Each structure stands twice: as C-alpha cells, then as structure tokens.
C-alpha cells in the first residue's frame, strides 16, 4: 500500500482536485482521477525527497481554525482601514523566531501569516529559523510575535511529526 | 423557503462586495507601499470567498451542482501569499527599508552577501 501510495494525502488531493475540476463524478472521471492519484505521486517522488509525514486530521482542523481567524482579523483590519486616521497607523517589522523542522511547515506558517489580514510575511532567514513579518498596526509588537508562535506554530508542530 | 435562501445569498453577496470595497479603499487611503499590501488580503479572502459561496449556493438552488467555486477558493488561498511575498521582496529591493535582525547568525534570504554594519 505504501509503495502504491507513497504520499496518501497528495494522492487524495489529486483525486478530489480532478473531480472538482471535471465537475462530475461519472465513471470516466473516477478512473482518470484514480490514475492521476497513483501516477503523479510516483512520477514526482524522485524530485521531492524527505517529504514530511503529516497528521491529516489535525491539518483539516488547522485549516478550519485559520479560516476562523481570517474572518475575525478581516473585521479588525476593516475597522482600522475605515476609521483610523492614516498617520496614526503604527506599522512595524517584527522578527518571528521559528522552530519548525520542515521547509513545508515553514511555508505553511508563512502562508498562514500572509492570509491573515494585518500581518504579512516578507522574508525568511537563510537557516530557516526566522520569519520577517510586517504588521499593519500594533502598539505591542511582542504580543503579535507571541500570538503567531502560540496560535499557529505550536499547532503546526503537532501536524508535522 | 426560496425567499429565505435568496435573502441569505443577497446578504453574503453584499458582505463580499463590502469587503472588496474596503480592500480597494485601503489601497487608496494607506500611505506606504508595505501598508498597501495589507489591503488586498481583505478582498482576496472574505471578498472573493463570500461571492464564490453565493455562486455555489445559487448553482445548487437551480439544480446545477457547480464545484468550481470550491476549487477557485483553494487555488486563491494557495497562490495569494506567493504574490504578496514577491511584492514585499520587490519593495525591499527598491525602498531598502530598515529591517530588524534575524535573531540568529544567518541573514535574511535576499540580503546581499555580507556587507559592513552600516545599514
């Protein structure tokens, strides 16, 4: 089973992705989706060594958690954009030290930070141990850094085993 | 029943349009390029998301199961951070803002190779 599906999550995503793209689940598309789900991970395996093991259920929980955060942050930033005088907006750069083992986890953390309105990843350090984040408005940069670490990084650590 | 669904769809569409508008207004109001990068995340997340949800529900209501909205949402969420990252890097090279240290021995990925301590 492991040999047929070296990366079950990728296979699953390809299968679902194809069915969504085809917009139907008739026999033709089911067969084609299955073929893609088997062939693409096998064909790309040599170019993606050291893939991390991912806890799929926790990843789904994480996505829902982040979507909730995005909604809340959207309202906050909308209030700042609409009602705060432009010269009062205090933007800062902060450095977030990161302790994640995989580049994939690092990328996911960076994407999460950017997608949450109000914070934006601009850089990473060459040793993958820090992210440079731009914050639209905050009076307390350390609190933002700690929130990123406790809300997202700790959860990502449990997803990437 | 249909009236209720229509009302909900209209509400979702209005919210999506509102956030798209706020995002655009932010582009106009905010002063610095880095601040302006924050405004479009409003539009790409809730703005487009709400409109795609509405489109999907309207499809179901008319008996057309249309799953492309889900796919568009996924692609948008995956690609939006990349464009923001590239714009931020471009801004870094053009404006050369003063950045905090990495906190480790390494430097930022697109820093020029070792230079003096003058910043």
Q: Identify all chain B residues contacting A134, using CB atoms and an 8 Å cutoff.
A: 34, 37-38, 88
Number of domains within chain A? 2
Any domain includes A3? no
Residue range A90-110, pLDDT digits in tens: 888 999 999 887 888 899 999
pLDDT at A1: 63
The answer on A75 and A42 residing in a single domain is no
Question: Would the CB atoms of B109 and A121 count as touching at under 8 Å?
Answer: no
> Does residue A134 share a domain with residue A96?
yes
CB proximity B13 to A under 8 Å: no
> ipTM value of the model?
0.81
User: For residue A77, which residues of chain B lie inside 8 Å, CB to CB?
Assistant: 26, 38, 41-42
Question: How many Cβ atoms from other residues are within 10 Å of residue A18's Cβ?
Answer: 18
Quick one: closest CA in B to A119, which residue? B38
Tens-place pLDDT, residues B45-82: 888 889 998 888 888 888 777 788 888 888 888 888 88
Residues A72 and A117 in one domain: yes
Q: What CATH number is given to the structural domain containing A91?
A: 3.30.70
Chain A residues within 8 A of B29 when measuring between CB atoms: 81, 86
Distance CA A28, CA B26 (A): 47
Q: How far is CA B64 from CA A23, A28, B4, B68, in A?
A: 10, 20, 19, 12
Asked if B21 reaches chain A (Cβ–Cβ under 8 Å), the answer is: no
Residues B17, B15, A117, B74: what is their CA dihedral angle, to the nearest 10 degrees?
-80
Kindly state whether residue A1 falls inside one of the protein's structural domains.
no
Decide: helix, strand or coil at residue A8: helix
Contact assignment for B88 to A121 by CB distance below 8 Å: yes
| Number of residues assigned to chain A | 161
Residue A98 tokens, joined: 């990161």
Q: Are B41 and A115 in contact (CB under 8 A)?
A: yes
Chain A to chain B Cβ contacts (< 8 Å) = 133
In this structure, is residue A86 part of a structural domain?
yes
| Beta bridge pairs of residue A131 | A96, A124
Mean pLDDT, residues B17-32:
89
* Residue-range definition of the domain harbouring residue A26: 8-47
B107 touches chain A (CB under 8 A): yes
Please state the domain extents for chain B.
Answer: 2-95
Q: Give the full edge-to-edge strand order of the sheet including A130-135.
A: A92-97, A130-135, A119-124
Residue A157 touches partner B, C-beta closer than 8 Å: no
Same domain, A37 and A67: no
Name the residue facing B29 among A17, A86, A134 (closest C-beta): A86
- pLDDT (0 to 100) of residue B3: 87
Going by the DSSP 8-state scheme, the letter that residue B109 receives in this structure is T
C-alpha to C-alpha distance for A91 and A77, rounded to whole angstroms: 13
Q: Does B46 touch chain A (CB under 8 A)?
A: yes
């Amino acid at each position: 089973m492991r040999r047929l599906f070296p990366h079950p999550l990728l296979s699953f995503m390809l299968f679902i992705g194809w069915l969504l793209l085809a917009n139907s689940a008739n026999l033709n598309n089911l067969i084609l989706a299955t073929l893609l789900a088997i062939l693409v991970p096998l064909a790309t395996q040599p170019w993606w060594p050291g893939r991390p093991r991912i806890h799929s259920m926790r990843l789904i929980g994480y996505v829902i958690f982040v979507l909730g955060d995005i909604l809340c942050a959207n309202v906050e930033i909308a209030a700042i954009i609409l009602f705060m005088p432009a010269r009062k907006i205090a933007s800062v750069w902060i450095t977030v030290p990161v302790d994640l083992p995989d580049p994939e986890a690092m990328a996911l953390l960076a994407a999460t930070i950017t997608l949450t309105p109000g914070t934006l990843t601009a850089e990473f350090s060459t040793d993958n141990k820090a992210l440079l984040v731009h914050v639209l408005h905050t009076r307390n940069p350390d609190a933002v850094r700690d929130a990123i670490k406790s809300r997202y990084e700790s959860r990502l650590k449990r997803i990437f085993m | 029943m249909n009236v209720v669904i229509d009302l909900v769809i209209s509400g979702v569409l209005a919210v999506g349009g509102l956030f798209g508008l706020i995002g655009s207004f932010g582009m106009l109001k905010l002063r610095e390029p880095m601040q302006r990068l924050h405004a479009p995340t409003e539009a790409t997340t809730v703005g487009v998301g709400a409109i795609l949800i509405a489109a999907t529900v309207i499809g179901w209501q008319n008996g057309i199961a249309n799953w492309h909205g889900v796919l568009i949402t996924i692609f948008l969420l995956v690609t939006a951070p990349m464009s923001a990252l590239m714009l931020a890097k471009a801004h870094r090279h053009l404006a050369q803002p003063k950045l905090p240290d990495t906190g480790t021995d390494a430097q930022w990925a697109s820093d020029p190779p070792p230079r003096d301590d003058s910043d």
